[in-house]
Amino acid sequence: QFADSVESNAQPDPSQIADLTLTKADGSLVKIRDLTGEKNVLLVVSRGLVGSLPSAVGETGDKPNSGGKSFCIFCSTQTSRLVANYAKFQQRNTEVVVVFPVARSSDAAELQNFAAKVQGKGKTSDDFPFPVLLDVELTAVDALGIRDDLSKPATYIFDSQGQLRFGYVGQSISDRPSVQALLDQLDRINQPL
């Protein structure tokens, strides 16, 4: 059960987030700034591919894949719920963007395994209704100061003018806002002044 009532607990420099460069599944690059400014943007940073760092030790909730690496069950669950509720975010003029951190570029192919885990066998990253971007070599994670066993779960909301309006960094692997908490935040952001 993710938290239904959350308040911002992280306020990174908004320009720092906007300047972050992430990688699409096809290898092309995109800056967060390029995704903001028309719609609200819900930016969800997952923990990524746990076990891809040599010193990483899996925590409870991690399910190993064939290479000893794993996907956090809470990240998979959260992403699955975002997929299932995507229409509710669209109704609030919001684009969802999920960030999947990987320690090395060679781990980028694991995004396809993550897509199948979240959406079902045979599904790929192209089947997500929203962008799922890679943070190769953890540059965004490090810039945001959220490195742990790859990344702490983090959520940021930009309004339609590109202003950072909400930031939440989980203190544990299961500490994240629920879909309802995010929809409530968006309803507040969308209220006329």
In this prediction, residues 126-145 reach a mean pLDDT of: 94
In this prediction, residues 12-24 reach a mean pLDDT of: 88
In this prediction, residues 178-192 reach a mean pLDDT of: 96
pLDDT at 53 (0 to 100): 56
56 has a pLDDT exceeding 70: no
For helices 73-84 and 110-119, angle between their N-to-C axes, nearest 10 degrees: 60
Q: How does residue 149 score in pLDDT terms, banded at 50, 70 and 90? A: confident
In a domain, 104, yes or no: yes
User: Structural domain of residue 139, as residue ranges?
Assistant: 14-190
In a domain, 5, yes or no: no
In a domain, 63, yes or no: yes
DSSP secondary structure, 145-177, as one string: T-EESEE--EEEEE-TTS-EEEEEE-SSTT--B
In a domain, 44, yes or no: yes
Average pLDDT, the chain: 88
69 has a pLDDT exceeding 90: no
Q: Could you give the strand order of the β-sheet that contains 49-50, starting from the edge strand earlier in sequence?
A: 49-50, 70-72, 62-64
Cα gap 165→147, rounded to integer Å:
22
CATH number at residue 142: 3.40.30.10
In this prediction, residues 66-74 reach a mean pLDDT of: 76
In a domain, 116, yes or no: yes
Q: How does residue 68 score in pLDDT terms, banded at 50, 70 and 90? A: low
Give whole-number Cα distances, 116 to 18, 26, 158, in Å. 29, 17, 28
In a domain, 1, yes or no: no
State how many domains the chain has.
Answer: 1
In a domain, 182, yes or no: yes
164 has a pLDDT exceeding 80: yes
